[in-house]
Each structure stands twice: as C-alpha cells, then as structure tokens.
C-alpha cells in the first residue's frame, strides 16, 4: 500500500522512462539508503498510519528532488496517501539493524519510510540492506522486491551521484543483500530471488537510463511483489483500482505467508490478478510457485512496462502464467468473476480487447453521421464501411468533375489558383454548413457543371464575397467592369438561393432546387 502510494506519487517524477519502473525504483532506492542510516542511528519507531506514509513520501520526495532532476509534478498529498492503510510491522520497528530476523508481517516500507524520513540529505541511493530486515516469507518477498528496486536504482543512481559516504555502506549493503538472498534461498524461493538479486546487483549494467534499464527493470520486477506491480499498473489504470489494490495489499500482507509474490509474479500476471481483483475484492491470490516464478521471470523479459500496453500483454502473458497456477490458486482464492463471466485470464484479456474495440467504435460512431442510433458492432461496421466507400466515391467524383472542368480553363488557372483563392478555399471549406455528403445527391442531378454552381455553392455556404475575392484577384479592373453586370446578376441569384437554403433547415431536394431557381438563372454552357 505504501509502495503503491509511493509509486503513484513518484510516478510523475520520471518522465523519460516508464514512470512506474522509475518511480518504484526511486522509492526503493530511497528506502535502502534510509534504512542504512536508520540502522546507524537506531532511530525510534515512528508511529504508523498515514502520517508515516505522508512523512515518508514527503521525505522521499525531498530526496527524490535532491537527486532527481525532474520536477515532482504530483504533490504528495495526504489525500493521495490517505487511502492506503499502513500496517506497522512490529518487528521492523524493533529492529535496529532490520535484520533478517524481523518477523515483520507488516510493511517493510514502513521501516523504509521511517528511514526515508531521516535521510533527506542522501542524494545517492545505495541499494542495500532493505532486504535484510525481511525475515518472513512476506518480508522476503518484499526484500526481493526492494533488492530489485535497489539494484535498479543502484546503477541508476551510481551514475548520477557520487556519495562517498555510502560507499562503505554499499559494500555492507551488498553483503547484506547477498546474505538476504541466502535467506531467500533458505526460504525456498531462492531461484527467483537469486536471479533477481543477481540482476539487481549488476550495477554496471544499469549505467544508462532508457530502454535497457527499463528492460532490466522489467526483468527484475519479476520478483516484485504483486502488490507493487499491481499498484503500479493500477495507477496506470485508474484510481479506483489503486484503492482496491491498496486495500488488497493490506489483505495480502496480513494474509497468508504464501504471499510471496516476490517469487516472481510477472507484471502481467499481476495485471491479470489485478483484473481478477477488480472482480473480486476478497481475492487472496497466492503467489505462484517457483515454476510460475520462472515463467514470470521469462515473461517479464518479454513484458513491457509501457503503461498503455500493460493491460494487453499482462492479459496475454497472464494467460500463460495463470494457467499453470490456476490449480494452486483455486485452493486459496475464491475468485468472484463478474456475473456470468469466466475468470480465465484468457477471457480477461479478451474482455480488455473488446473494451478497447468498443471504445474505438464509439469514437467512430461520432464520426460517421447518422450512426448514433445504431447499436451493435456489425451494423456499425456496415455503416462505417458504407461511409468510407461513399467518401472515397465522392473524392473520385469530384476529381472527375475537376478533370472535366480543367481543360475548359484558359490560361487563367495560374491566376485563379493563387494563394488568395486558396485562403478563401480553406475558409469556405471550413465554413461548410453541410457535409460533403449532401453535395453528392445534387451533383448527379444536373448535367452541366454550371448548373451545379448555384446549388452547389449555396450548399457550401460560400459567400459571394469570397467568390468575388477569388475571382477578382486574377482579373484587371477593366475586365471587372465589363463583367460586373453579369456577375452581379449571378451573385443576386446566388444570394437568393443561399438565403433559401439558410431558411430551410431540411436539405433541398432536386425539385426544390429546380423550382426555386430564380428566373434569372444563368445557364452558361460550358
């Protein structure tokens, strides 16, 4: 929960990379450093609750600011933190050294938070002994998580900041980390842990930000706790998810020790379980076994932390992973899927896909005129196809019209098609009161192009001023005078038709047009 909060709050910090990864790693980097200092200073127990979260987040924010060039966009607010319930781990408090013997069932982050509070001055983060106060399975899980976090941050921070003070602690931390990983091994989850730890402790690899780091983070994130990952993904999704996750995280942490999600629940898996949780609040998804952890580790390598795509790959990979763990899950979870829906991750991903598609279809519905009343995908698709076809035909027809008109143009075309005319074109086309669809029924009704001018132009709402402007530009004044009479006549008729159209809201039918054409209608033969 804390982690979730922190993740959520730290999210906006890093803009260049996947926010979740960075934020998580940032946070974790804060924790180990704090922890170290805490152990040294043997600070007292901080009262748990939201205050801790606030303070820790604030302090971490401070620290983040101190070493992060990015701006902390999101203010760390009490409200944002308020929704997470912090379970104070009893053990963690009592542990000065935060050694592995701490039987903290609560939040490691609590301890870390405390540490964070007292380490505002340490810009460089040493990924260290965070794990070493994890004794429980849950602790171990978090430890692994943090190790991964810290590992990532280690490389990241090391590049940026030189903290000579921490060098000694670094080695100490590394040793402790290794020790912790031994502990993990004893815990039986050695494989995923050590893998992750090895990955974590390759600071050379983490020299650069960007995609390689990101990828590594994803790899390392496999041992991350479910909660963190889910929370991370949840922040991507929506706030409600976050709240749910945090609450679930509470349940998880308090729950069975099998919540060794650090085992390597893939992010995708987490996403999948997230979705399960969306459906069921009583979820107690036990973390996958070692085998699934391996799968998750592999899946993680393929996974993408891209927020926009977490859902999709999460669903897909969650499929693979969950299938293996479906059976063991059943023993522990009572997943309540949506009424009448399957709980299979396969169907979950499919549901996601369907939601995406329905979202796009709604958008298309707004685009295509006359589709608001239509319901159903098939009918909508038909309408869309018809509309696209009609638009394409329209363009072809208009280009055909242009082709017939063009040869009739004299050498004035260059004068005509000047920038002025283009501007008026753009202005006119933007002010078209009717969609071009309405032009189509009119155009075929008239044989001669000039016959189309009046209804067409009136349909377009092209003002006579614009026309005059476009026409006047290439012509000399003398010419204008000679043609002014005819032009004025024509313009008058155009005005009439335009006014008629404006008055009538309904589209003009062909009969209306022919009947309403003023007697002075110019029938120029082209």
Residues from 289 through 318 that contact other proteins (CB under 8 A) = 308
Residue 445 interacts with other proteins (CB under 8 A): yes or no = no
Tokens of 51: 């205050």
What gap in Å lies between CA 173 and CA 207, rounded to an integer? 19
Residue choice 94, 483, 499, 509 for contact with other proteins (CB under 8 A):
483
Nearest to 199 by CA among 112, 67, 300, 295: 300
Q: How far is the CB of 115 from other proteins (least distance, A)?
A: 37
Q: Does 413 bind other proteins (CB under 8 A)?
A: yes
Q: Which stretch binds other proteins (CB under 8 A): 147-155, 248-256, 278-286, 431-439?
A: 431-439
Asked if 492 touches other proteins (CB under 8 A), the answer is: no
Question: Quick check: 479 binds other proteins (CB under 8 A)?
Answer: yes
- The stretch near other proteins (CB under 8 A) out of 49-57, 185-193, 198-206, 388-396 is 388-396
Which residue in 16, 208, 482, 488 binds other proteins (CB under 8 A)? 482
The residue assigned the tokens 């998750």 is 296
Q: Pick the closest to residue 267 from 216, 237, 308, 224 (CA basis).
A: 224
CB of 72 to other proteins, least distance (A): 23
Hey, is 126 helix, strand or coil? coil
State the number of binding residues for other proteins (CB under 8 A). 85
Say if CB 190 and CB 181 are below 8 A apart: yes
Check residue 175 for interaction with other proteins (CB under 8 A): no
Task: Tell me which DSSP letter residue 522 carries.
Answer: -
Q: What are the angstrom distances between the C-alpha of 326 and each of 35, 122, 284, 303, 331? A: 37, 44, 13, 20, 9
Angle, alpha carbons 211-215-217 (nearest 5°):
115
438 binds other proteins (CB under 8 A): no
Near other proteins in 365-384, by CB under 8 A: 367-368, 377-378, 381-382, 384
CA distance 80 to 103: 29
On the CB side of 203, how many CA atoms lie within 13 Å of its CA? 17
Judged by CB under 8 A, the residue of 414, 447, 511, 515 near other proteins is: 414
Region of 81-89, 127-135, 275-283, 429-437 interacting with other proteins (CB under 8 A): 429-437
**What's the min distance (Å) between Cβ of 413 and other proteins?**
5
Is residue 432 a contact point for other proteins (CB under 8 A)? Answer: yes
* 342 lies in the site for other proteins, by CB under 8 A: no
As measured in angstroms, the least distance from the Cβ of 526 to other proteins is 6
User: Is residue 238 involved in binding other proteins (CB under 8 A)?
Assistant: no
Between helix 19-41 and helix 50-67 the angle, nearest 10°, is 110
Query: Which two three-digit tokens encode residue 317?
Result: 């990979």
Contact 186, 65 (CB under 8 A): no
Using the rule CB under 8 A, which residue among 63, 333, 453, 513 binds other proteins? 453
């Amino acid at each position: 929960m804390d982690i979730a909060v922190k993740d959520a709050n730290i999210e906006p910090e890093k803009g260049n990379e996947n926010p979740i990864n960075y934020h998580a790693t940032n946070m974790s980097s804060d924790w180990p450093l704090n922890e170290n200092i805490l152990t040294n200073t043997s600070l007292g127990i901080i009262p748990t609750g939201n205050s801790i979260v606030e303070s820790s987040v604030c302090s971490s924010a401070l620290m983040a600011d101190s070493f992060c060039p990015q701006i902390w966009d999101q203010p760390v607010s009490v409200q944002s933190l308020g929704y997470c319930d912090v379970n104070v781990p009893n053990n963690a408090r009592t542990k000065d050294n935060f050694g592995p013997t701490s039987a903290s069932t609560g939040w490691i982050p609590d301890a870390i938070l405390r540490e964070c509070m007292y380490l505002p001055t340490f810009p460089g983060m040493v990924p260290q002994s965070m794990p070493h106060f994890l004794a429980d399975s849950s602790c171990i899980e978090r430890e692994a998580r943090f190790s991964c976090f810290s590992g990532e941050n280690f490389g990241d921070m090391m590049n940026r900041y030189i903290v000579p003070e921490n060098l000694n602690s670094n080695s100490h931390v590394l040793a402790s980390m290794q020790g912790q990983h031994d502990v993990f091994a004893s815990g039986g989850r050695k494989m995923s842990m050590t893998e992750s730890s090895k990955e974590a402790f390759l600071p050379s690899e983490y020299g650069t930000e960007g995609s390689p780091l990101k990828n590594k983070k994803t790899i390392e994130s496999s041992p991350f706790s479910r909660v963190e990952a889910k929370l991370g993904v949840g922040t991507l999704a929506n706030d409600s998810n976050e709240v749910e996750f945090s609450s679930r995280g509470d349940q998880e942490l308090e729950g069975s020790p099998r919540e060794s999600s650090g085992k390597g629940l893939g992010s995708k898996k987490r996403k999948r379980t997230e979705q399960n949780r969306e459906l069921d609040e009583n979820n107690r998804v036990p973390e996958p076994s070692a085998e699934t952890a391996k799968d998750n580790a592999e899946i993680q390598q393929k996974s993408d932390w891209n927020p926009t795509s977490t859902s999709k790959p999460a669903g897909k990979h969650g499929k693979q992973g969950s299938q293996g763990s479906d059976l063991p899950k059943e023993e522990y979870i009572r997943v309540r899927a949506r009424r009448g829906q399957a709980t299979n991750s396969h169907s979950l991903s499919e549901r996601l896909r369907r939601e995406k598609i329905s979202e796009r279809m709604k958008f298309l519905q707004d685009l295509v005129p006359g589709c608001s009343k239509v319901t159903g995908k098939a009918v909508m698709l038909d309408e869309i196809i018809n509309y696209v076809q009609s638009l394409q035909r329209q363009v072809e027809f208009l280009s055909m019209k242009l082709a017939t008109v063009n040869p009739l143009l004299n050498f004035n075309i260059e004068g005509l098609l000047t920038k002025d005319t283009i501007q008026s074109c753009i202005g006119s086309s933007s002010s078209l009161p009717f969609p071009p669809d309405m032009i189509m029924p009119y155009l075929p009704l008239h044989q001669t192009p000039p016959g189309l001018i009046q209804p067409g132009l009136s349909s377009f709402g092209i003002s006579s001023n614009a026309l005059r402007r476009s026409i006047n530009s290439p012509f000399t004044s003398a010419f204008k005078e000679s043609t002014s009479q005819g032009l004025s006549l024509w313009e008058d008729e155009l005005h009439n038709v335009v006014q008629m159209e404006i008055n009538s809201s309904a589209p003009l039918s062909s009969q209306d047009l022919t009947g309403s054409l003023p007697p002075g209608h110019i029938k120029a033969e082209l």
